[in-house]
Amino acid sequence: MYRRKHLRRTYRKNTRRTLRKTNTLFREILFFLQRLLRRPFVKTVLLIFVILTILLVPVPWLITKITPSADPGHFGKSSRTAPFALAEIPKKVTVWRTASHKTETVDFEDYVKGVVSSEMPSSFPLEALKAQSVAARTYSLGKIQKSETGGNPKSHPEAPVCDSTHCQVYQNPSDLKSIKGSSWMEDKDGWKKICKAADATCGQLLYYRGELVQQALFHSSSGGKTENCQDVFAASVPYLVSVDSPYEDEATHQNEQHTFTVENFAKKIRAYCPKIAFGDIKSSNIKIISRSTGGNVEKMQIGNGLIEGRTVREALELPSTNFTIKISAGKITFTSSGSGHGVGMSQYGASGMAKKGYDYKDILAHYYQGTEVW
């Protein structure tokens, strides 16, 4: 008991002694600082230090908060420096309007918005719409560059691009309002979403080995695998090669059936290919001969003739060349998947990739192999 009391007294004495020493030291430091601050040059140095601290730390932080982001996804311009000369984008473009047979000159970026609105549903994810914006912008500029050196296309000599599928489908805001309605123009998931996607990628283009991509082709859906360019359009293009397109679950035109009598089938084929001597076309001499790397029909035997799957598709107005045939009881049934020529970016595939978390650059790099966005 005595020992505990002694220890408590000793602890209190030591604590008071420590506090007295600490207070004495603090007063000495404070007194020293007061004397130091009385010297004129010390005040000046301290003031400069405080100003520099404010300029170097809080002010830059505040600027980053109140000014727009420098992220390329915000401005559309990349903060990177390209290792090659970038293509010059015109401020305006002249478009041939097929309905009125007149030209229309619009801001280039407004034209891109009109194309994206016409070529891809606004209900698609934003990253898919961004990918479509870059593809449409690139394809358009490729057409413009070609017209500068070789003249405008014969089908519309007054303008480098038209508003139909010959180039890219384009509709201006007035057209869109009359077709889609005023509510779509005001809806955040309508016209405003299209504008958001185009503005986010403003000025961005696809390049392959330092050169502008001239053929940024796209189609609705591939049926699971896209086509090599040479298997569809004869010419080989290094970035338009067959790739898997696994996320097309929501695509239209899947396992569609189109049935014709053999007689009607033969009539359509002969009408579309009048120069080919088919001879007698019957069930026994209608066959698929070969398929492309992407799995689409490459060649078909019809009677004594050998024609491309693409020709059959066009003659019968099938959605794609990704089809099988079944002949029974004098009828031929085509079962097809996919829609369009199958080359380049699958739009439903892009939508599926976006829903899986891929951004627009991932989508473009997948469907246009070896390319990059600048």
pLDDT for res 81? 86
CB 98 within 8 A of CB 162: yes
What do you get for the CA distance between the two ends of the chain, in Å? Answer: 84
| Residue 347, token pair as written in the block | 């739009």
| Phi, psi angle pair for 161, to nearest 5° | -135, 155
For residue range 27-66, what is the model confidence (pLDDT) as tens digits?
667 666 666 666 666 667 666 766 766 667 665 555 544 5
| Residue 244, token pair as written in the block | 């898997």
| Separation between Cα atoms, residue 322 and residue 338, nearest integer Å | 7
For residue range 193-226, what is the model confidence (pLDDT) as tens digits?
999 999 999 999 999 999 999 999 999 999 999 9
In DSSP notation, 13-71 reads HHHHHHHHHHHHHHHHHHHHHHHHHTSHHHHHHHHHHHHHHHHHTHHHHHHHHHSPP--
Average pLDDT estimate for 165-173: 96
Number of residues that this document lists for the chain: 374
